Structure 1
Amino acid sequence: MSSLLKLVVFLGLTFATSFARSNDPMFAYNGFSNTNLELDGTASITENGLLELTNGKVMSKGHAFFPDPLRFRRSPNSTVQSFSASFVFGIISVYNNLSSHGLAMFVAPGKDFSAATPVGYLGLFNAQNDGNGTNRVFALELDTYQNSEFQDIDNNHVGINVNGLHSVESHAAGFYRDRNGTSESFEDLTLCSQQAMQVWVDYDSESARISSTVAPLNTARPKRPTVSASYNLSAVLADVAYVGFSSSTGKINSRHYVLGWSFAMNGPAPAIDTSSLPKLPLARSKPHRPVLEVVLPVATAALLVAAGAVVFLSVRRHIRYAELREDWEVEFGPHRFSYKDLFRATEGFGDKNLLGTGGFGRVYRGVLPRSKLKVAVKKVSHDSKQGMKEFIAEVVSIGRLQHRNLVKLLGYCRRKGELLLVYDYVPNGSLDRYLYGRNGNQQAMAAAPATLDWSRRFRIIKGIACGLLYLHEEWEKVVIHRDIKASNVLLDDDMNARLGDFGLARLYDHGVDPQTTHVVGTIGYLAPELACTGKATPLTDVFAFGVFVLEVACGRRPIKHSEAQQNRLVLFDWVFQHLQNGSLTDAIDGRLKGDYDVDEACLALKLGLLCSHPFASARPSMRQVMQYLHGDVSPPELAPTHQSFEALALMQEDGFDPYIMSYPSSTATASIGTVSATMSQGR
């Protein structure tokens, strides 16, 4: 065997070994050329021996498996044996330090992950099986996106996962630097920094402890692990299972690579020879800087240097401000901003002007250089090959909307692979900050603004209702917003509500039946009929408005994960139970401490239930909603039955594909919301 390995190294080939030491499996890959890994999805082996799990295509997933199943128990029903693994990985994204999802090393009973979702679940699970004990999966996640539904600690962490994406234990990515033989300061690492890093994963069967360590490549393994947890995998793993890697891209163009991999049962994983690993591809070409290679007379050299400097500065200036323009955009001229103006307005899209990160990009504060108008600029990726003309036409049409309760969309700008949407800047940020804090958790509430009093909440409800009436009935076209939620409601200087983010909106003429389209929006706000028809109508907006009203009145999210009960609590279901039990006021946000108008509060809750009725025919129009809110007409009483409402939670959970609608709420200080990933495919 040793002579064969020397021959393989001599020929410059990657090696992989699988052999037994007391019947304990072990293997090592220093690169993956000429290996027999089993691949699916977008996974492939590159020419230089990289394992490429995802190739940059959005909404994709890829898996790679060691070809042979490994015996994790010496006999049936015995304890799972100790095991150890090490691998080197790298993440390349089109954005600096921004990637939609990461990758995971896993142990699973089978190799079929065809039902896994390419958004939010790392290509391992979906909304239906996430957390199920029958999965029998252990995974070490390197996650680059913060999903509130999984209680992620941040958008750059290492997590120990069992049977789902809720980590048993997680820690910010980084390592403990060893000095003088002890572990001292913790140093942060950015997982999507486009640099190779090494990971070690260990399971000790005697102590039933899992630990993992991340460190920069060519750094000695730190003594103290990055994250560890006590968990007995004997209750999880099958007798025989497969080991492998999984990754998904979500909605941002990212590439996930594994450079080397080793594994051992009942012993340390073989060391990876980092000097022989393939190199990560360059994320971008480095700027070319001309160098004089021939010494010329001083006068000639000075002339060349001066000329080169002029050319370089001109090219750099052109690249910095380069835009993508096509002939058809002439008709939209007044609504098109120059990239140069937006670059200067945001001070080069610097971090100090970053308001937050939404589902598809980043939002920046800016001041236009000539008009001194304050704006918010959202940068999102796009594919201009198809559907962009229709999308821009709708952006420009929506830009003509004029209403005090709507955030004005001023226009757009295009670059290669990038679309910039320009909005009025709304200084007090998004409503969800005031309802939940920045991240929707108790720790963040201390840093959030003061709790909104009831009078302001009721005024916000009225304001959004007024804005929706304008969109549905009073403008020249019917506008269906399709993404009404607290994070898309912004508050101006006087705390008046303004509905923003028209990136998912649809327009059509009055009296025309809207056409079927992709189901888009946010889970918890989607009307159940969308699962059957895919057709967005004003009544689907009314449904989302109803959920929004309950959200504002109760100070609770539409769907809340309950770890204790292993289920999801649906807000309207909870409010309706209070209505049945005669305890409706108990549903009002407890932070108000009873300081609210009882009649208004009960009206809001009943109106929220009525608008979010599972049957579209039972919902009121926005004109009727305004009449109810102004007290001109009393809303109809809700029938004291729960049957029609019971199905709605199931429709919300099972009636839609999660990757179509699970757009995370923005955590921006002044959220601009979400732009549809389907815009490049027509509207």
Structure 2
Amino acid sequence: MILPLLLLLTGSFISADNTTGFSFIFTDSELAGVREIQPNGQLLHTNQTQMSGVGHTFYSHSFPFTNTTSFSTSFVFAIIPENPRYTFHGMTFAITPSKAVIDASSAEHLGLFNRTNDGDNSNHVVALEFDTFKNLELSDIDSNHVGLDINSVVSVFATTAGYYNDQDGVFNNLTLASSQQIRAWVDYDGVNKLFNVTLAPLHVEKPKKPLASIQKDLSTYLLDEMFVGFTSATGVLLQRFYVQAWSFQVNGKAQEFNVSDIPPLPLPLKKNTTKNKHLMILAIGLSLGGLLVIFISIILGIVWYRRRKRKFAEVLEVWEVEYGPHRFCYKELYKATQGFKESELLGKGGFGQVYKGILPELGTPVAVKKVWHESGRGMKEFVAEIATIGRLRHPNLVRLLGYCRRKGELFLVYDYMPNLSLDSLLFNSNSDLILTWKQRVKIIMDVAEALAYLHEEWVEVIIHRDIKASNVLLDADLNAKLGDFGLARFSNNGKEAKTTHLAGTLGYIAPELARKGKATTATDVFAFGAFCLEVVCGRRPVEHQGHEEAVILVDWVLDCWFKDKLLNAVDPKLKNELDDAEMRLVFKIGLLCSHSVPAVRPSMSQVLKFLKRIEPLPEDFDDVLHIREDYSGRLGDASASAYFSQIQYNTVSSPITSSISSSGR
């Protein structure tokens, strides 16, 4: 369950000046979504639409921020996690050009930015984040810190939350998500360009030494008129955020609060326990007037409870906390899929079944993958998916919403893709939807961008190891998303995955992977090349024709190329709409990526440049394809690597020409 920012508010109004500042104490009313605080303390809903998991609360009027403007603010806040053992994303005090940042995203974007505008200097946003999650991609220092954010959620300064004792100067840690009230003071000296942040527990006076004193000129980031307020965002784990008092002042000191006026935090409702149920059963039995009835009721209750407990029993281990994705209750998934009913089955794979489900609380469809527990590798594949896709964020990767474990059963929950997998459209003769040429090129581009992210853009190199049409899912708009990370592995700088086990699907496996069993980014590129040809040709990577030996798609297309009969390889459904130049470009990229010599294959970032026509393919492309004829018979692995190490794809004229000429071809 994902909830936006919650603030406790009341009409208790201390003082306010529409032009220079205000001071309020809030109680007894929850605030969620997008709200405005009026000068008289009244709360108003706005018409802005917000994404789930994002909350905004801003003062309704703007304040002047000139080149030398100083400001001061003080507030009392609390962060209450649903489970104290697990904390997630936090909240901010923000100064923004608008009082409703309608395009903001949840989770790590803290309700301030989104994937597109994060880091854009035109944002003109200055924020102080109170973050309770260590995000390695954002270089967070720990899971309990305060950071100064300017136009981005990557902090320009961050420090562990705490305060200095006035008596001995000792630093005391202060846990932000402690479910306790915390006071915060933010003071900016516009003349000396000094930004001070101070924290303390509610009943501790403001420490003389601030937590952080940052020399920063904010005038270059702030406009003449700015709004002040709070934002927050939740991710896969639930946290509630409260702001119980707030004062703000331009060119002066913010008004202090009498802490005795600050209301206590609301107490969470306690759930009925098993003991309460037994007491209820006992009361009913007594009301029926017989010890026999009581005894039978208790026995039946215990039997029912144990059976139900066994049915929905789950397993929680230490490693699960590290990987982070939200954990669903088995009972939730059981109800969502109607007891994993056969009619909800979407498909079967090598390691499990996938069901469609509707989560009752969200009302949105999801895909639930049930991993085969009979497989000895089931747990290994399960952990691999959690350890990789659970921390990845890219529009062309299937989003992992959460997971569940119980005795011998493993479940992964993803966004539901209405158009299912790509192979169901390519090879299902009963499908009413025929993919056009432009749609297929877009799908190839989407998968290339996903692989470039895995290989070159994330904090670690990830080798997917199972790129194929059945692992490419299509959303309602036919956008492609790469999924199934059950075989994915982290790599040593892309050179070699941390595994010796041969994995993959016949037809997509590179020659060197079949010989050595060592996966690299180059073996992923080979599989991508076979995938490209599969999409354009509408043929599976390996086909059996009668009693003849299997036909390998990569070899068959290569033969068509050498015989100048490339049109014979195109899916017959496409021949009336082909762009000849673009078709040849995609074929060339597919053949180049699926080359038998690893050194010849381009990187995925280079493939994207070819697809987008930012850079041309090597001029000696035909000669490059002929290389494979000599490779297996004449060159060993070591000499081949050195032989083709000169190939460069970032120039118009490739040095491959001189290499080929010197070899006699």
TM-score by length of 2: 0.53
- Say if 2:591 is the partner of 1:636: yes
Code of the aligned partner of 2:336: M
Q: 2:31 matched to 1:65?
A: no
For 2:103, what is the secondary structure of its paired residue?
A: coil
Query: Which of 4, 13, 17 is residue 15 of structure 1 equivalent to?
Result: 13
Share of identical aligned residues, percent? 24
The residue aligned with 2:624 is none
Given residue 388 of structure 1, which amino acid in structure 2 is its aligned partner? Answer: A
Is 1:111 the counterpart of 2:99? The answer is yes
Residue 188 of structure 1, CA deviation = 4.3
Q: Distance in 2 between matches of 1:104 and 1:231?
A: 18
Q: 1:160 aligns with which of 129, 132, 148?
A: 148
CA offset at residue 85 of structure 1?
1.2
Distance between the aligned counterparts of 1:197 and 1:93, measured in 2? 15
Structural mapping, 1:93-242, within 5 Å: 93-98=81-86, 100-172=88-160, 174-178=161-165, 180-184=167-171, 186-191=172-177, 193-242=178-227
Residue in structure 2 matched with residue 610 of structure 1 by the alignment = 529
Work out the CA distance in 1 between the residues paired with 2:89 and 2:331: 15
Distance 1:42 1:611 in 2: 49
Partner of 1:483: 398
**What is the deviation of 1:147?**
4.2
Distance 1:252-1:643 versus aligned 2 partners, 3 A rule = same
Which aligned pairs between 1:247-262 and structure 2 lie closer than 5 A? 247-262=232-247
Distance of 1:64 and 1:221 partners within structure 2: 25
Is the CA contact 1:58–1:250 (under 8 Å) kept in the aligned structure 2?
no
Select between 263-272 and 420-429 the one with higher mean Cα deviation.
420-429
Q: In 2, distance between residues paired with 1:552 and 1:131?
A: 16
Q: Relative to structure 1, is the Cα distance of residues 629 and 162 closer, same or farther in structure 2, using a 3 angstrom cutoff?
A: farther
How far does residue 264 in structure 1 lie from its aligned partner after superposition? 2.3
Contact 1:548 1:608 in 2 (8 A): no
Partner residue in 2 for 1:388: 336
Aligned to 1:356: 322
Residue type of the partner of 1:426? M
Q: Which has the larger radius of gyration?
A: 2
Give, in angstroms, the shift of residue 128 of structure 1.
Answer: 2.1
Secondary structure at 1:161 match in 2 = strand
Mapping for residues 376-455 of structure 1, pairs under 5 Å: 379=329, 388-389=336-337, 392-393=340-341, 397=345, 401=348, 403=350, 406=351, 424=373, 426=379, 430=383
**1:422 CA drift (Å):** 7.3
Deviation at 1:605, TM superposition (A): 5.5
8 Å CA contact 1:482–1:505 kept in 2: the answer is no
Query: Which residue in 1 is equivalent to 2:280?
Result: none
After superposition, the C-alpha distances for 1:278-334 in whole angstroms (9 at most, x for unaligned) are 3332223277999xxxxxxxxxxxx9xxxxxxx9xx99x989x979xxxxxxxxxxx
3-state SS, counterpart of residue 167 of structure 1: coil
CA contact (8 A) 1:41 1:62 kept: yes
Is the CA contact 1:125–1:164 (under 8 Å) kept in the aligned structure 2? yes
The C-alpha deviation readout for 1:39-87, integer Å capped at 9, x for no partner, is 9944488xxx998999xx98143322223221222xxxxx332222111
Judged with a 3 Å threshold, the aligned counterparts in structure 2 of structure 1 residues 505 and 289 are, in CA distance, closer, same or farther, namely: closer
Q: What is the rounded CA distance, in whole Å, between the counterparts of 2:439 and 2:135 in structure 1?
A: 26
State how far apart, in whole Å, the 2-side matches of 1:531 and 1:199 are.
Answer: 53
CA distance, structure 1, for counterparts of residue 157 and residue 537 of structure 2: 45
Residue equivalent to 2:547? none
Residues 505-558 of structure 1, C-alpha deviation per residue, up to 9 Å, x if partnerless?
Answer: 666885443989xxxxxxxxxxx95999xxxx9x89976885598579996369
Report Cα offsets for 1:117-155 as digits up to 9, x if no partner: 244322222222211111111111122344444333344
Q: Secondary structure at the match of 1:16?
A: strand
Aligned Cα root-mean-square deviation (Å)? 6.2
Q: How many residues align?
A: 466
| Structure 1 residues 168 and 431: CA distance shift in structure 2, 3 A | same
Per-residue deviation, 1:261? 0.3
Determine the C-alpha separation between the residues in 2 that align with 1:627 and 1:207: 75
Aligned partner letter, 1:29: F
Distance change in 2, residues 1:143/1:279 (3 Å): same
2:23 to 3, 16, 28: 28
Q: Deviations over 1:337-395 (max 9, x none)?
A: 9445665x63xx4x746453443x14xxxxxxxxxxxxxxx5489699xx924694479
User: What's 1:83 paired with?
Assistant: 71
Counterparts of 2:53 and 2:336 in 1: how far apart (Å)? 22
C-alpha distance in 1 between matches for 2:553 and 2:399 = 18
Partner AA of 1:181 in structure 2: D
Cα 1:224–1:503 shift into 2, 3 Å: same
Tell me the CA shift for residue 618 of structure 1: 7.2
Q: Are the aligned partners of 1:159 and 1:227 in contact in 2 as well (CA < 8 Å)? A: no
Q: Secondary structure at the match of 1:282?
A: coil
- Report the Cα distance in structure 1 between the residues aligned to 2:154 and 2:145, rounded to whole angstroms: 13
Task: Indicate conservation of the 8 Å contact 1:123/1:248, yes or no.
Answer: yes
Q: CA 1:629–1:181 in 2, change beyond 3 Å: closer, same or farther?
A: farther
Residue 258 (structure 2) pairs with residue 273 (structure 1): yes
CA gap 1:591/1:408 in 2 versus in 1, 3 angstroms: same
SS at match of 2:219: helix
Distance 1:631 1:557 in 2: 28
Q: What's the TM-score, normalizing by structure 1?
A: 0.52
Residues 337, 344 of structure 2: 8 Å contact kept: no
The answer to whether the 8 A contact 1:41-1:63 is kept is yes
Counterpart contact for 1:92–1:283, Cα < 8 Å: no
Q: Which runs of 5+ in 2 are unaligned?
A: 1-9, 276-285, 287-293, 404-409, 464-491, 501-509, 514-519, 544-549, 559-589, 594-601, 615-665
Superposed CA offset, 1:484-524 (max 9, x none): 99x99xxxxxxxxxx984644666885443989xxxxxxxx
Structure 1 residues 81 and 179: CA distance shift in structure 2, 3 A: closer
Say which SS state the counterpart of residue 356 (structure 1) adopts. Answer: helix
- Structure 1 residue 202 displacement after superposition: 2.1
Within-5 A mapping of 1:504-519: 504=415, 510-513=428-431
CA distance in 1, matches of 2:235, 2:331: 12
| Larger relative contact order (CA 8 Å, sep ≥ 6) | 1
